[in-house]
């Protein structure tokens, strides 16, 4: 059974208190469950291959489906990707409910999404996520806390089937999330000057308008 740690996600003190236990687990190749700005997720340290593999195993996830990574600030994005979009766009979108697909950096663990030349990067609008990654000192691999194909979870009670499979659960109570439980909007920026919506999620329509009207980017989303 996982170690459940209650955390007040609105309190910096409460967040800081939970970080040592979570980081210790991640450093050792463990997996944690935690709330994000959209839904609950499961996470492992990007540089630890054993943790990445555990995520696939506990979710029953297809090995060909890439995992996104979570950074703590915009300056890290250029370390872990070859970013093709300007800092002004990054600051518009992040932190926020978006996953940006960019060309991956050679600095990333080659066992993370092997054979895939891009990487999805998140900076959730979540003090807990940001402070955890900052203390860890490198990104986490992050995906939804559910068995693959099942509904996403906005409370820890909704992923009970995973409780015995993860090492630590950071219980921040119900996520502040819309009823349709959409995760992040996934946007592919690998083609310079263009973008495509890979998955419709939070704030999708508003973001398409922003990118096309304010930044003059071409929307090449497949119909």
> Helices in 67-177 by DSSP H: which ranges?
77-80, 87-93, 127-136
- CATH topology classification for 3-178: DHBP synthase (3.90.870)
- How many Cα atoms are found within 13 Å in the side-chain-facing hemisphere of 205? 0
Which residue spans within 50-154 are E strands per DSSP? 68-70, 81-82, 98-104, 118-122, 140-144
pTM for this entry: 0.94
| 8 Å CB contact between 79 and 107 | yes
Q: How far is CA 208 from CA 94, 102, 196, 220, 221, in A?
A: 15, 17, 9, 11, 10
Q: What pLDDT tens digit does each residue of the chain (223 aa) get? A: 799 999 999 999 999 999 999 999 999 999 999 999 999 999 999 999 999 999 999 999 999 999 999 999 999 999 999 998 999 999 999 999 999 999 999 999 999 999 999 999 999 999 999 999 999 999 999 999 999 999 999 999 999 999 999 999 999 999 875 556 788 999 999 999 999 999 999 899 999 999 999 999 999 997 5
> Measured between alpha carbons, how far is 100 from 68 in angstroms, rounded to an integer?
9
Prior bond of 95 cis (ω within 30°): yes
Q: Which is it for strands 118-122 and 68-70: parallel, antiparallel or unpaired? A: parallel
Phi (first) and psi of residue 198, to 5 degrees: -85, -35
DSSP H or E segment with residue 134: helix 127-136
């Amino acid at each position: 059974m996982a170690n459940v740690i209650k955390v007040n996600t609105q309190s910096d003190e409460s967040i800081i208190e939970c970080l040592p236990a979570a980081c210790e687990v991640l450093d050792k190749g463990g997996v944690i469950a935690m709330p994000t700005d959209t839904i609950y997720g499961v996470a492992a340290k990007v540089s630890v291959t054993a943790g990445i593999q555990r995520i696939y195993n506990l979710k029953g996830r297809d090995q060909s489906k890439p995992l996104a990574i979570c950074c703590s600030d915009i300056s890290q994005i250029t370390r872990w990707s070859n970013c093709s979009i300007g800092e002004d766009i990054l600051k518009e979108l992040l932190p926020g409910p978006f996953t940006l697909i960019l060309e991956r950096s050679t600095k990333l663990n080659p066992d993370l999404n092997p054979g895939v030349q891009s990487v999805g990067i998140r900076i959730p609008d979540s003090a807990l996520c940001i402070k955890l990654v900052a203390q860890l000192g490198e990104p986490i691999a992050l995906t939804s806390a559910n068995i693959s194909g099942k509904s996403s979870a906005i409370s820890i009670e909704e992923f009970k089937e995973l409780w015995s499979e993860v090492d630590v659960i950071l219980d921040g109570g119900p996520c502040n999330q819309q009823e349709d439980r959409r995760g992040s909007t996934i946007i592919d920026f690998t083609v310079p000057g263009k973008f495509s919506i890979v998955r419709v999620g939070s704030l999708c329509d508003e973001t398409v308008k922003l990118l096309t009207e304010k930044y003059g980017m071409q929307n090449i989303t497949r119909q």
